[in-house]
């Protein structure tokens, strides 16, 4: 079988991305990040979908130009089906359907979290399975067992807020600019984790971060009541303490699952996988436990179409195509099999 040339689209939240992928090669990966949400301190769904409409044609044209291909050379069009913001998903999926209809190309739909999980294999040859992968982002925190390129099993997830959401919302309480997660990471490097926050003790491999958010809120309220300058005077140590608490909760579950399943190949993906503190602690843990770590490159940590194209390539080889009436799914459980 020839190596398919695929145009891939990612629009599940607030990043518009179009990539051209051929096998393991990313020929282009264009990402337009929406700035409008900064003034609101969070993603506004209606504004996000409008911004996707404004940018998607431009991103597609640039992706094709950078890749140096002709549209007629494409073998398939791929797009994120879900999960995500419904309006945002519809923009990307409908654009893909239009291209398929106009050029008589097959459609491939991709699960956003499957793509994040398999992004740990981008730009590298990896044939040793199973791999335990933790997907950590603003909207999701999951533990999955990757048995092969085509088999992904969900074994744990957050029961309320995602780790990235905890970073962002606590950062907002501290007055940090949106998105606050990277700011917490940056500032934490200047401080010491001297404040102790409660850590959830969920069953099995599940996570919970709502209790930490509430504890942080009360902690800040109580201390600023006594000293209005408390946050400004202690911002470095507060960020270091919050970051330490979140990372410890993530690594506790990751280590438990690795021990229980006797797995030494460990991956981490999603936007929060770019967090420097998480990477450092995970690397230290890997030395202690003799783990083989798999990180995506930084450009593939956040939402991007290249990872959509990579999964689409696997589905193309398996003959797993979608009909043009396939709907976008805001809620979408991670399928265990890519080939059907």
pLDDT in tens, 170-211: 999 999 988 899 999 999 999 999 999 988 888 889 999 999
pLDDT the model gives residue 1: 65
pTM of the model: 0.93
Cis previous bond, 52, omega within 30: no
Q: How confident is the model at residue 39 (pLDDT cuts 50, 70, 90)?
A: low
Tokens for 87?
């309006």
**What domains are there in the chain, each with its CATH number?**
5-117+300-317 (3.30.420.40), 128-296 (3.30.420.40)
Burial of residue 237, with CB atoms counted within 10 A of its CB: 0-12 exposed, 13-18 middle, 19 or more buried: middle
pLDDT the model gives residue 41: 64
Q: Is residue 37's pLDDT more than 60?
A: no
Q: How confident is the model at residue 149 (pLDDT cuts 50, 70, 90)?
A: confident
Query: pLDDT tens for residues 230-242?
Result: 999 999 999 999 9
Query: pLDDT tens for residues 49-60?
Result: 888 899 999 999
Q: How confident is the model at residue 132 (pLDDT cuts 50, 70, 90)?
A: very high
pLDDT the model gives residue 51: 84
Tokens for 238?
């507060």
pLDDT the model gives residue 92: 97
Q: How confident is the model at residue 128 (pLDDT cuts 50, 70, 90)?
A: confident
DSSP label at residue 37: G
pLDDT the model gives residue 24: 86
- The strand pairing partners of 108, in sequence order, are 78
Give 123-129 contacts, CB < 8 A, sequence gap 24+: 123/24, 123/26, 123/297, 124/294, 126/265, 126/294, 128/265, 128/292, 129/265
Q: Phi first, then psi: what are they for 229, rounded to 5°? A: -95, 10
Q: Is residue 304's pLDDT more than 90?
A: yes
Q: Is residue 61's pLDDT more than 80?
A: yes
Q: Is residue 36's pLDDT more than 80?
A: no
HSE-up (13 A, CA, CB side) for residue 181: 25
How far, in Å, CA of 260 to CA of 66, rounded?
A: 46
How far, in Å, CA of 32 to CA of 37, rounded?
A: 13
Q: Backbone dihedral region of 196: left (phi > 0), alpha (psi from -120 to 50 degrees) or beta?
A: beta
**What is the CA 252 to chain-centroid distance, rounded?**
20
Alpha helices in 45-138 (DSSP H): 45-67, 86-103, 112-118
How far, in Å, CA of 25 to CA of 31, rounded?
A: 17
pLDDT the model gives residue 33: 76
Q: How confident is the model at residue 84 (pLDDT cuts 50, 70, 90)?
A: very high
């Amino acid at each position: 079988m020839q190596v398919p040339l695929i145009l891939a689209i990612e629009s599940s939240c607030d990043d518009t991305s179009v990539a051209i992928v051929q096998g393991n090669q990313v020929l282009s990966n264009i990402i337009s990040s929406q700035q409008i949400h900064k003034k609101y301190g969070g993603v506004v769904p209606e504004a996000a979908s409008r911004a996707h409409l404004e940018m998607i044609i431009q991103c597609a044209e640039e992706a094709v130009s950078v890749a140096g291909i002709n549209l007629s050379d494409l073998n398939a069009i791929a797009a994120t089906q879900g999960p995500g913001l419904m309006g945002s998903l519809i923009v990307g999926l409908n654009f893909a359907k239009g291209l398929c209809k106009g050029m008589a190309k097959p459609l491939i739909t991709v699960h956003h979290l499957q793509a994040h999980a398999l992004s740990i294999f981008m730009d590298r040859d990896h044939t040793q399975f199973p791999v335990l992968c933790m997907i950590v982002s603003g909207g999701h925190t999951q533990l999955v067992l990757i048995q092969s390129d085509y088999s992904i099993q969900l074994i744990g997830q957050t029961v309320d807020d995602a780790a990235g959401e905890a970073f962002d919302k606590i950062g907002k309480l501290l007055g940090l600019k949106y998105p606050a997660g990277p700011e917490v990471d940056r500032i934490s490097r200047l401080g010491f984790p001297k404040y102790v926050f409660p850590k959830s003790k969920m069953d099995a491999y599940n996570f919970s971060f709502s209790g930490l958010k509430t504890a942080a809120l009360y902690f800040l309220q109580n201390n600023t009541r006594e000293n209005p300058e408390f946050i400004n005077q202690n911002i470095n140590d507060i960020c270091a303490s919050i970051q330490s608490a979140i990372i410890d909760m993530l690594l506790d579950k990751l280590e438990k699952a690795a021990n229980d399943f006797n797995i030494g190949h460990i991956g981490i993906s999603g936007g929060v996988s770019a967090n420097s503190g998480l990477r450092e602690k995970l690397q230290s843990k890997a030395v202690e436990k003799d783990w083989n770590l798999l990180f995506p490159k930084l450009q593939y940590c956040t939402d991007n179409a290249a990872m959509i194209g990579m999964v689409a390539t696997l589905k193309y080889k398996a003959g797993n195509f979608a009909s043009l009436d396939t709907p976008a799914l805001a809620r979408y459980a991670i399928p265990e099999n890519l080939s059907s």
